[in-house]
Amino acid sequence: MDVDVEALPGCCVAGIRVVELLGSDAAELQHFFEQAPAYFIAVNGEPATPTEAREELQGYLPAGWRCSRMYWLGYRDAQDQLVAVVNIAADLLAAGVWHIGLLLVHTRLHGTGLARQLHADLESWAASKGAQWLRLTVVVGNTRAERFWPKLGYVPVRTREGITMGRQVNTVSIQVKAVAGGRMDEYLEKVGRDRPGTPS
């Protein structure tokens, strides 16, 4: 199957190309996940399960949720090895809202600025495809994520408690960044579930 390369973000980092991960890439993605135990322990209370990658690539959304397109992106180095993966859903909950489900960089590249650059490329690409807001969920207690995302301009809009993820029950912070002229008040008007005090 031919993949429309124009449909994927570019990458400004020399030697890295972006590909779309498909079901046939599950074994490779699983191996990547297994090399990042700290992330999975922080958010799920356990390392990646044996079927983690396969289930993720199936792209299931919570009941009643819709998106126009789900992307699983792989970032490959010159040796064709995965150095980062991104999951992003276009038009989740409302048109113009793009939700980053995962941005995970290989541990050996932590602290290099790669994650920040990948995000900048991702933001520009999403804006060019109609994104007005980027949205994500940060698990309270995942200190690396709690430090990282606010530096990129994400603003907490509400907190949710009692969210079961893997073996643990988390409190999560829903965070949003306005892009391409989107305003936060407009976002909260469109995405009622993210307004503080509203029911789920």
What CATH number did the domain enclosing 63 receive?
3.40.630.30
Query: Is residue 176 a part of any domain in this protein?
Result: yes
Provide the whole-model pTM: 0.92
Tens-binned pLDDT, residue by residue, of the chain (200 aa): 344 445 899 888 899 999 999 999 999 999 999 999 999 999 999 999 999 999 999 988 888 899 999 999 999 999 999 999 999 999 999 999 999 999 999 988 888 889 999 999 999 999 999 999 999 999 999 999 999 999 999 999 999 999 999 999 999 999 999 998 888 899 999 999 999 877 76
pLDDT for residue 120 = 96
Query: Is residue 198 a part of any domain in this protein?
Result: no
Residues in a beta bridge with 97: 133
Query: Is residue 109 a part of any domain in this protein?
Result: yes
Query: Is residue 197 a part of any domain in this protein?
Result: no
Query: Is residue 101 a part of any domain in this protein?
Result: yes
Query: Is residue 200 a part of any domain in this protein?
Result: no
Query: Is residue 43 a part of any domain in this protein?
Result: yes
Whether the Cβ atoms of residue 76 and residue 16 lie closer than 8 Å to each other: yes
d(CA 153, CA 67) in angstroms, rounded, equals 24
d(CA 26, CA 115) in angstroms, rounded, equals 22
Joined together, the tokens standing for residue 182 give 């989107």
Whether the Cβ atoms of residue 30 and residue 23 lie closer than 8 Å to each other: no
d(CA 85, CA 75) in angstroms, rounded, equals 6
pLDDT for residue 190 = 94
Query: Is residue 110 a part of any domain in this protein?
Result: yes
Q: Which domain holds residue 23?
A: 5-191
pLDDT for residue 200 = 60
Task: Please count the structural domains in the chain.
Answer: 1
